[in-house]
Structure 1
């Protein structure tokens, strides 16, 4: 793990793994340091932004160095259920690649509990961990130029939902009618790091 200056009021914590990143984010968040104004997780990094003129970055680092990152603090997470119509274009491909039936793909995807590790790519797009091993598959060889909003897909160790129409290379399992991002809402993004997510089949 490395702590790197990121401008005058922030530090970028480079982590060795996704799980280490999640533990660092949870530790800094649980410390509730009043002068830490933003925590931005990524796949292998955490950006910690401090109020200018304070010692919050050092306090955050001390909290992380004193923590047992193998057993990070657990907050009371929000739980979100997303209803999915499993009729995605790549559902047969995912089943074929995994060597299982389409019905088993749906069963595996809906039986797991997922955690929002970080957000990015597009406003409201959450990278969810917890994908069952048979469903951990590569991105499409050729990305689509347009993926409809609400599309539920998977790629690598992640599953997620496209919050708006955009290009994308994830394998599509289906779609949800839930709005993932509304810039006019008090909370624009439905999902945030640490939230727990479950998918439920509409049929």
Structure 2
């Protein structure tokens, strides 16, 4: 969707697009990249300050921030003006501002039935798939799909895999998966088409709060079945 254009940073072009009567989409980038996060976080802070009590919600994504505002308190023209002003002179926030999380995962074919599939696609041994998945910290880009579901990336190209042609009807709570170059954890049981590698006992959504926030970093740590059980993990196999 096309929209009004503006300039931010060092001559970078963005757009403001209408998505609803009371919502505007601020698009800073066209491609997913980990370096986008600092810009989107900085823009979010400026928008909160600019809109004040007229702001209903901000929804950051990989390349955009959606601004949901009170149309009774703010005319659309004024909302656009405030967005443009917030983008003027924008500089990225430090990538180190987010919280760092270490997430224990039991990688096993009984709870991670797609481990073999990823090994086949990548040409790697199952153990190397696990090692590589744990080898880097992943940036939280956005929350969505279900409460507490964090879209993280980017996994290295060798681990990238398309989502399942036919999604499973039920993915167990805590399941860790890969979809294309993204990785994520299912915070609750739900249908899903990601490639499942293992399971974590960590609670991701509780009392209306998500453990992860955009800008956080997450590093996975492989643990034994015994450690997984000791931490309260459910070892019920994930069926096909």
Give the TM-score normalised by structure 2: 0.73
How does 1:152-171 map onto structure 2 within 5 Å?
152-171=176-195
Match of residue 136, structure 2, among 104, 108, 112: 112
Deviation at 1:63, TM superposition (A): 3.1
157, 162, 186: which one aligns with 1:133: 157
Note the alpha carbon deviations across 1:25-70, whole angstroms, 9 max, x for none: 22213436153543202344320234634856533322324335xx
Alignment match, 2:60:
41
Change in CA separation of 1:57 and 1:27 when aligned onto 2, cut-off 3 Å: farther
Q: Does 1:149 align with 2:163?
A: no
Q: Map of 1:19-34 to 2, 5 A cutoff? A: 19=33, 22-31=37-46, 33=49
CA distance in 1 between counterparts of 2:38 and 2:178 reads: 23
Mark the runs of 5 or more structure 1 residues left unpaired by the alignment: none
From the CA coordinates, give the structure whose radius of gyration is larger: 2
The answer to whether the 8 A contact 1:49-1:57 is kept is no
Taking the TM superposition and a 5 Å limit, the aligned residue runs for 1:1-203 are 1-7=14-20, 9-14=22-27, 15-19=29-33, 22-31=37-46, 33=49, 35-36=51-52, 37=55, 38-50=57-69, 52-53=73-74, 57-67=80-90, 72-74=92-94, 76-87=97-108, 88-182=112-206, 184=207, 188-203=209-224
CA distance in 2, matches of 1:64, 1:34: 11
Per the TM alignment, residue 23 of structure 1 is displaced from its structure 2 partner at its CA by: 5.0
- How far is 1:181 from its partner? 1.2
Comparing 52-61 with 188-197, greater Cα deviation is found at 52-61
Q: Give the TM-score taking structure 1 as reference length.
A: 0.86
| Structure 2, unaligned runs of 5 or more | 1-13, 225-240
The CA RMSD over aligned residues, in Å, is: 2.3
CA distance in 1, matches of 2:221, 2:36: 28
Q: How many residues align?
A: 197
Structure 2 CA distance for aligned equivalents of residues 97 and 126 of structure 1: 24
Q: 1:81 Cα shift?
A: 1.1
Q: Which runs of 4+ in 1 moved over 6 A?
A: none
When residues 141 and 9 of structure 1 are mapped into structure 2, their CA distance, relative to the original with a 3 A threshold, is: closer
